[in-house]
Structures are given as C-alpha cells and as structure tokens.
C-alpha cells in the first residue's frame, strides 16, 4: 500500500535516479536521520566503483539531478518501502523540488530511461513515455548519438602517492565532495586538467574530528555524528577547491621516537578543502566539533591557516562548545615574575652553549647566570651515533650565532624536575635587529626538531606553529638530519698536551705561526684554558704567561685560593666558547703550552685579568714579554681601585715588605755543606736534576723502607676494583727495572689507562700503565720523599736546542751523575734548591773555596752566567769574580759556546 507524506529535507544524489534524504533535526544535539529514495519507473546509468567502471553518461546524469536537488527542500511521496540497509530506510517514490517533478525533468532532458512495465499504461505513464520520445528525437542526454566525452575515472587512490603529491602540491584542483566519512575525512572526485576524474580521500589539514563508527554495533565517539553532519550539510556534493598538501605520515622526524615512515601507496592525502564561503575546517573548530592538530602546523603556517585555526579554537574554548566543554579557562601569561621569583622577560648575554637546545645566559639586571631550554625544541643527541655529527653542528651553529651576544629572553613555562632531568626554564630566545627566534632558525637548518606536545598542553612555545613550519621546510628540502645521510660522528680531537714530549713536537711549529685562530673549549682556571683548533681537530692546554691567577679547588676535599672562584667565573663568562687567537712561547713539564690569548684581535686576556684584580704579575716570566709594562700598569690600576685580590691592599705596607725582601735577598745564605748524590738527570721540558742528601737519617730509613717495600710487593697486591689513579695521589708504581717504588701521580689518563709519575725517593719520571700502579700502603707513607729538586747556582747549561746542548748535558752527567758530591745551598726557591756542586776529589778546592763544578762548566763553554734566573748573584762577590775569570778563559780558548766568539755574556 502506497503511503503519502510531505517532508522537507536536504538531499544528496547517489546516481541519476537515487537520492539520500535527511530530515530537519528535531532533537537538539542529535543529527537528523537519513533515508534513501529511489525514483519510481526510471533507470539512470550507474556510477562506477573500484571494481567496475562508470556506465556511459552516469556522471552527467547524476550531475543533472544533483544540480536540481542538492541543498534544496523537496517534497516526496513513497509508493513502496524496501528492506532497510544498515538501519537506513529505503523507499521507492516520486519527488518534487519547487513544484518540479524530478522524474519528468530527467526524462525530458534524456538523463533516464523508463523501465519496462507489465501493467496497463496509465495516463501518467503515457506522459512520461512522450517525454522520453521527445528527448530521443532531440538527441538529448543518453540519446546523444556521438556518445559521452572520453574520460577515465580512477576510483582508487593513485598508486604512486608521493609522485601525485609532488605534482599537484600547491596547485588548486576543482572537485566535488562525494562522501563525508567523518567531520574531517572526505571522499572527493577531482576534475583533472586532462579531463579524467580522480577519486581521492582527503583528511582536512590541521584538524581532527571525533571518530564515527564504520561497523554495525560500534558506537561513535561523542560529537562524532554531529561533526559529520556539520560537514555533510555544508559540503556533500558541493563543488570545492582542493589543495593537496602532504601524505599522512611524512618521512620520519629523527628526533621523535614515535615517528613512522610513509608507505609508497597511501590511502589518504592531507589537504585543504575550500567552499566558496570559506575553509570548513575553521568552521568546524569554531563550532567545537574538531580539535587542532599541532603536527599539521608546518603545512599551514606559511599561509596563515594555522593562525586562523588557533583563533577558531580560542573562540570555541571561550564558548565551551562541544569538545571544549571542559576546557580550562585560557590564562594569558604575565610578563612579570616566574613562580621562583625570577624575571619572565629579560635581556641577557649568552655565556655558554651546552647543546643544540640548551644555553646559559647572564641576566643583564641581576648578573645571575640562568640555564635555559629552548621551548618546544629538541636537539640531536650526541650519544646517538646517527645524530652525533648533527649534534656537534647544532651546538656550533648556536655558538657562532649567540655566544657573547645580547639576546631577549621570554620564559614560556617551567619544565618540572622529572627523573634524572633537573627543573628547566623553557624559553624563546630572540637576537639581532629583527628579533629572530634562534630555535626557528635552528630547526629550519635541520639541526633540531619540534617537540610533539600532548593535546591541550599549553606549555609550549608561543611560536609553535612557526617552528612546525620551519621543520616542514627542513623536511621538504632534506636539510641537516632530515637529509637521510648517515654521517659518521666527529673524530675525537687529538690532545697535543697529553704529554710533554708530544707538546714539544708542536712547539717550534706554533712559534713560527705566530697568532693561531682557535676556540676556547673549556676554562679550567682563571689563567688556564683548553683550546680547540678546528682546522686541525686538535686540543691543547694553554697557560697564560706572565701572570698567576688564584687556584680553584679541583675536588670537594680541596679549598680554592682567595678569589680563585671569582677568577674562574670571570674567565668562563668572558672567554668560554669564544673565537680567539693564541701565541705560544714554551711548554711546561705537564705538556701545557705557555703563551698569550687574544679575543677580538686586540684584547690580551692576561692584561684583562690583571686589570680586574683577578691575577697578579709573575715577574720571573713577565719580564721577557713585550707587554710587560702593560701588565704592571694594569696591576697598578687594580691596586689603586682595590679590585678583588687587592681589596685589602695597603700601598705603604707593601713598600715596607718589598724593602725588607730586597734586604733579605741581598744577604747570602749561611754556608751549609751537604753530602749529596745526583739521583736523576732530566732533559724533558728543559734541564733539571734531583739529589738525595746523604748525611741525614732519611737515607738510612729509606734503605730499610725499600727492603720492606720489596718484600711487600713479592706477593701479588690486588688494587681495589674502584681504584683509578688521579693527579696528586701517592702510589706504588713499577719502574722500568721491574721493581716497585713510591711515586706521586703527576697526571693520569683514564682513556689510555696510564699515568705520568714522579718517583719521590729518586726523582725519576716515567709513564706507567694503570696495571702497574697500586694504592700506597699507609705504613709506607710516613717517610718523606728523599729526592729533592735542584738546579745549578749562578749558571745555566747551554740551551738544549743549541749545538752544545747535548754535549753540556753529557758533561754534567760525567761530572756528577751517581757520584758523591759536596753541595752548598746558595738559594732556595720554594722547594727548589740552588746548589753549588763541589767535587771532593778535586785538589783545587783546598786552595780556592770558589772552585766548583758550576764554574768548571762555564770555563769549558758549556754553561753561561744566569743573571736573570739567579738575582741573588750580587750577594756572592767572590763567585762573581770566579765566574768572570771562567768566562775569560772560555773566550780565550774558544771553548764550547765561545768557539766563534759571538756569544754575548750577561754583565756581572
């Protein structure tokens, strides 16, 4: 039995003879129901699917009916009901739009055919037949003898998805929305310029609506049906303009552990769909029926799309619409203070680059150092071999851009302490005249990635969308870590200061080069720096010559000298990671280079430290420097201003002490003859030697100790598992003769597992593997070391690099080494003794008390008078005369250094 009804609804068209009707919503918050109406008595060509092609004229027939009905109110009458499909009622009947019968219009224009009927034709049937005959006679629609235009309809997604995106990215394509799967997923027929049709699935860029059920018995997410209806009502079977932007999963971002790779053939594209009224994605978000998808920001930010979506999101949150009903209120962040009482917005100077996403700055107003994390930014990991190269590049990029520069800092949020990670201020850092965001530049270079925040996580960079756009550009261009190239990690720099012998190999080369460009990699103390040479991939230790800065504690058990910490902090903040130049003069006994350091071409670091009152002039080494006057002037300035070290300086008291010291130094020491034996002669880092004093109880005690020491080491001594030798430790060490001796660690290398040691009872120095080093048993610690460092009084041997250097050392060994001698202590310089060595077997010593090996070496032309190093010489007039006579003899006989008569001897 036929039922009649008049219903207002919005239809969509399945084919040229079928409509989907949706009644007006009657219950608030619930989308209206759907039903399908098949027009009675006619057949239209069927549209194809992925398994079959379109029938001829199917698209044109559907388009004719679509243009008549879509978006308009219709009146329909059902004549027969069919079994429902997925709970959607299906009816056969007739329909009118604005009083126009759809069946008659289809027949009149040739877009449908009458079905064969077995019943007697009615008057209505005859009218329809007449309309069909008129269309045939006029060659309309299906009856066009020339057939439909040639076209291919691709119902499946393109096989090579990436190629399709590359070809059409950034270009507008016209299309018609064939299906709305959920609020943000559409199936669209694209009208390609070639005339073909391409059916594609499009996910709206930047937004995601709740899921709609696709299986019987499965429920949709809350508001999912509403979002689907919202989009259907506005777009279904409407003409749209489509911009394809990307595949659903871009090439994996190496910084994100959750990234996935895109298959060759994708099932969906990401793009924008524009109706003449606007972008439906923005309306969806504003209505509270879709959320913003952060990781699409890179596709939309450049066109302002993401900014509009954010504005729509804010509007939905303010209205608390649908998805945002429980959203927390939007709180604008203040420019005042953080929860810890520190400024949220401040000017600062960058003093250190920790990694590709962390820096330290010095706040301008408070002079306080703050360590900052770049907001929403994640740098490559140095610990990951695949990222190590880029981690180094990111750090270097920040160093060149920021170190020592003025920046503007905005604290965006505080990341709380979590596990091993300390609390960190996350900030936006801008620099330069254009207030450029350094994080954005870093990401655009492919040297950092963007953190994927959780939904509704407001703790993020205010420029988050710009950061995502920068990452998208880096991905598209294949820059940095997105290039796909696996570059090996940087090689470990060669430490040329590891040993004194290695340092000496480079000394002459550095002297010839003069000023050498480098980077301060680390500040060990106020006047001690670790320098990196990028060109040669080398590091060295540089000690500033001519000055002495207070020492800082090397561990918790030590105590820094006064102003040692201040000197260290000043040098760190001013010179750490800066581009510098350095010059080398000599090396020290540990492999460090002694020289000068310059920043900005003109600033001499030693002079600056002296002027700031954070170091003092070391006159012994400063007097030979070209800028010695500047050092003394700077020190005088610091004293006058009472800066740091000189805070309690009393000029009058200082003058009195100097006068007293000069008077004391002008007096010779009391004659003190000692029986000694030269226990070791060294030529590394210049000539030096050690002695043992024989006429003391110490030697007898040493003999007993060595007997016990030997017995102690006859049985294997296993070191504690955690034992690692370090500088300054007293240990037992095996010498090259296979015996164990007491020693002191001068320097240890955990990497090479070896240490440089000094054997404290004999003065020898050697490099010993960790395997041959043991902790010194407490019972062997009470006796002081029996070797004493010494030098020759009044004279210095020929320079080791000169023609007579080796001959001078050999002669000294022949005269002194291993022999019992008599020594007089003429001067003491700390623990270093200045000795006059006397051979007791020389008969001349009976008649002339000034006869000594020191003068003999001068007479043989193998040593010269050392007026500079022995300022006490004037206190020994008899020795002055003896040395003058020795010089005259050497010149007369053209001995040694005086062979060619061109040596200028120091004035006496």
Name 126's Cβ contacts closer than 8 Å, sequence gap at least 6.
Answer: none
CA–CA distance, 358 with 429 (Å, rounded to integer): 11
Least confident of 44-48, 630-634, 682-686, 777-781: 682-686
CA–CA distance, 415 with 459 (Å, rounded to integer): 8
In tens, the pLDDT along 423-479 reads 899 999 999 999 999 999 999 999 999 998 887 788 999 999 999 999 988 988 889
Q: Could you give the residue ranges of the DSSP H alpha helices within 353-437? A: 388-402
Handedness of CA 624, 630, 632, 635 (dihedral sign): negative
CA dist 84 → 3, 36, 78, 689, 714 (Å): 17, 9, 14, 108, 100
DSSP 280-328: HHHHHHHTTSSEE-GGGHHHHGGGTHHHHHHHHHHHHHHHT-GGGTTPP
For residue 220, count other CB atoms closer than 10 A to its CB: 16
In tens, the pLDDT along 825-873 reads 998 887 888 999 999 888 888 788 889 999 999 999 999 998 888 888 8
In tens, the pLDDT along 794-833 reads 999 998 888 888 999 999 999 998 888 999 999 888 788 8
Beta-bridge mates of residue 413: 426
If pLDDT is split at 50, 70 and 90, which confidence band does 251 have?
very low
What's CA 198's distance to the chain center, in Å? 45
Beta-bridge mates of residue 165: none
pLDDT of residue 869: 81
**Residue among 390, 354, 347 nearest 374 (CA):** 354
What average pLDDT does this structure show over 76-80?
88
CA–CA distance, 223 with 328 (Å, rounded to integer): 19
Least confident of 335-339, 718-722, 854-858: 335-339
pTM of this structure: 0.68
What average pLDDT does this structure show over 560-578?
94
In tens, the pLDDT along 118-177 reads 788 888 889 999 999 999 999 999 999 888 888 899 999 999 998 999 999 989 999 999
Q: How is the chain split among helix, strand and coil, in percent rounded to 5?
A: 30, 30, 40
Q: Identify the residue with better confidence: 218 or 854.
A: 854
Q: Are strands 579-587 and 688-693 parallel, antiparallel or unpaired?
A: unpaired
Phi, psi (deg, nearest 5) at residue 83: -60, 140
pLDDT of residue 260: 43
* HEC sequence for 419-480: CCECCEEEEEEEECCCCEEHHHHHHHCCCCEECCCCCCCCCCCCCHHHHHHHHHHHHHHCCH
If pLDDT is split at 50, 70 and 90, which confidence band does 623 have?
confident
Name 901's Cβ contacts closer than 8 Å, sequence gap at least 6.
Answer: 891, 894
Beta-bridge mates of residue 450: 377
- The beta-carbon contacts of 721-729 under 8 Å, at least 24 apart in sequence, are 723/774, 723/775, 724/748, 724/750, 724/770, 725/755, 725/770, 725/773, 727/554, 729/775, 729/776
CATH numbers and ranges of domains, the chain: 9-143 (2.40.50.90), 153-213+222-250+264-324 (2.40.50.90), 338-482 (2.40.50.90), 497-649 (2.40.50.90), 683-712+724-787 (2.30.30.140)
In tens, the pLDDT along 279-302 reads 999 999 999 999 999 888 888 887
Could you tell me if 7 and 21 are in contact, meaning their C-beta atoms sit under 8 angstroms apart? yes
């Amino acid at each position: 039995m036929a039922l009649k009804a008049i219903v207002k609804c919005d239809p969509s068209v399945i084919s040229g003879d079928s409509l989907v009707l949706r009644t007006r919503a009657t219950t608030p918050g619930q989308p209206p129901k759907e039903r399908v109406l098949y027009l009675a008595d006619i057949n239209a060509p069927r549209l194809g699917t992925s398994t079959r092609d379109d029938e001829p004229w199917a698209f044109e027939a559907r388009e004719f009916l679509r243009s008549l009905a879509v978006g308009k109110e219709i009146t329909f009458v059902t004549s027969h009901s069919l079994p429902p499909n997925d709970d959607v009622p299906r009816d056969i009947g007739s329909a009118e739009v604005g009083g126009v019968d759809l069946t008659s219009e289809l027949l009149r224009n040739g877009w449908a055919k009458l079905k064969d009927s077995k019943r007697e034709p009615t008057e209505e049937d005859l009218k329809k037949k007449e309309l069909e005959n008129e269309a045939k006679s006029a060659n309309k629609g299906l009856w066009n003898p020339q057939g439909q235009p040639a076209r291919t309809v691709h119902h499946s997604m393109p096989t090579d998805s990436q190629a399709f995106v590359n070809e059409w990215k950034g270009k507008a394509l016209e299309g018609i929305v064939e299906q709305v799967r959920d609020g943000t997923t559409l199936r669209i027929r694209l009208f390609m310029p070639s005339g073909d049709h391409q059916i594609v699935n499009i996910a709206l860029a930047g937004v995601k609506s709740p899921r709609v059920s696709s299986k019987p018995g499965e429920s949709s997410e809350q508001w999912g049906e509403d979002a689907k209806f919202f989009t259907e009502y506005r777009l279904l079977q409407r003409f749209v303009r489509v911009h394809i932007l990307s595949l659903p999963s871009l090439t994996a971002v190496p910084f994100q552990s959750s990234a996935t790779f895109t298959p060759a053939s994708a099932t969906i594209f990401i793009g924008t769909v524009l109706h003449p009224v606007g972008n439906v994605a923005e309306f969806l978000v504003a209505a509270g029926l879709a959320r913003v998808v952060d990781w699409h920001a890179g596709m939309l930010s450049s066109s302002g799309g993401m900014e509009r979506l954010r504005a729509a999101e804010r509007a939905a949150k303010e209205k608390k619409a649908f998805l945002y009903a429980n959203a927390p209120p939007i709180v604008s962040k203040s420019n005042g203070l953080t929860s810890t009482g520190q400024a949220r917005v401040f000017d600062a100077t960058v003093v250190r680059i920790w990694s590709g996403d962390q820096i330290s700055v010095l706040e301008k107003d408070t002079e306080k150092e703050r360590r900052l994390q770049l907001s929403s930014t994640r740098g490559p990991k140095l610990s990951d071999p695949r990222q190590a190269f880029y981690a180094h590049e990111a750090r270097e990029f920040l160093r060149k851009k920021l170190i020592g520069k003025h920046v503007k800092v905005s604290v965006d949020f505080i990341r709380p302490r979590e596990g091993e990670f300390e609390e960190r201020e996350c900030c936006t850092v801008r620099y330069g005249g254009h207030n450029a965001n350094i994080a954005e530049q870093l990401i655009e270079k492919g040297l950092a990635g963007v953190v994927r925040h959780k939904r509704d996580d407001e703790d993020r960079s205010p420029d988050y969308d710009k950061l995502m756009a920068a990452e998208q550009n880096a991905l598209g261009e294949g820059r940095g870590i997105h290039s796909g190239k696996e570059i090996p990690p940087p090689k470990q720099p060669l430490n040329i200061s590891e040993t004194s012998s290695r340092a000496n190999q480079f000394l002459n080369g550095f002297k010839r080069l003069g000023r050498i460009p480098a980077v301060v990699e680390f500040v060990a103390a106020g006047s001690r720096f670790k320098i990196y040479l990028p060109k040669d991939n080398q590091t060295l230790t540089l000690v500033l010559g001519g000055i002495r800065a207070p020492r800082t504690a090397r561990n918790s058990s030590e105590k820094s000298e006064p102003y040692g910490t201040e000197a260290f902090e000043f040098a760190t903040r001013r010179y750490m990671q800066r581009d510098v130049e350095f010059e080398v003069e000599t090396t020290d006994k540990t492999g460090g280079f002694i020289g000068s350091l310059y920043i900005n071409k003109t600033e001499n670091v030693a002079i600056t430290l002296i002027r700031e009152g954070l170091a003092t002039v070391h006159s012994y080494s400063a007097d030979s420097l070209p800028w010695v006057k500047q050092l003394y002037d700077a020190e005088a300035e610091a004293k006058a201003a009472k800066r740091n070290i000189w805070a309690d300086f009393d000029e009058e008291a200082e003058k009195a002490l100097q006068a007293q010291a000069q008077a004391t130094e002008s007096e010779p020491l009391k004659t003190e003859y000692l029986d000694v034996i030269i226990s070791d002669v060294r030529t590394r880092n210049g000539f030096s030697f050690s002695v043992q004093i024989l006429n003391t109880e110490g030697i007898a005690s040493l003999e007993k100790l060595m007997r016990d020491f030997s017995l102690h080491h006859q049985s294997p001594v296993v070191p504690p598992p955690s034992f690692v030798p370090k500088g300054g430790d007293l240990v037992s060490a095996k010498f090259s003769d296979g015996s164990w001796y007491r020693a002191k660690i001068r320097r240890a290398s955990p990497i090479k597992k070896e240490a440089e040691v000094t054997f404290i009872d004999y003065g020898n120095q050697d490099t010993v593997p960790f395997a041959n080093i043991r902790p010194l048993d407490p019972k062997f610690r009470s006796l002081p070391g029996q070797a004493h460092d010494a030098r020759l009084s009044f004279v210095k041997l020929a320079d080791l690099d000169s023609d007579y250097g080796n001959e001078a050392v050999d002669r000294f060994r022949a005269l002194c080494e291993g022999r019992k001698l008599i020594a007089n202590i003429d001067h003491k310089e700390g623990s270093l003794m200045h000795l006059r060595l006397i051979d007791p077997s020389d008969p001349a010593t009976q008649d002339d008390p000034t006869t000594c090996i020191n003068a003999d070496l001068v007479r043989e032309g193998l040593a010269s008078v050392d007026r500079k190093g022995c300022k006490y010489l004037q206190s020994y007039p008899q020795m002055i005369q003896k040395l003058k006579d020795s010089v005259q003899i050497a010149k007369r006989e053209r001995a040694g250094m005086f062979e060619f008569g061109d040596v200028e001897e120091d004035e006496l």
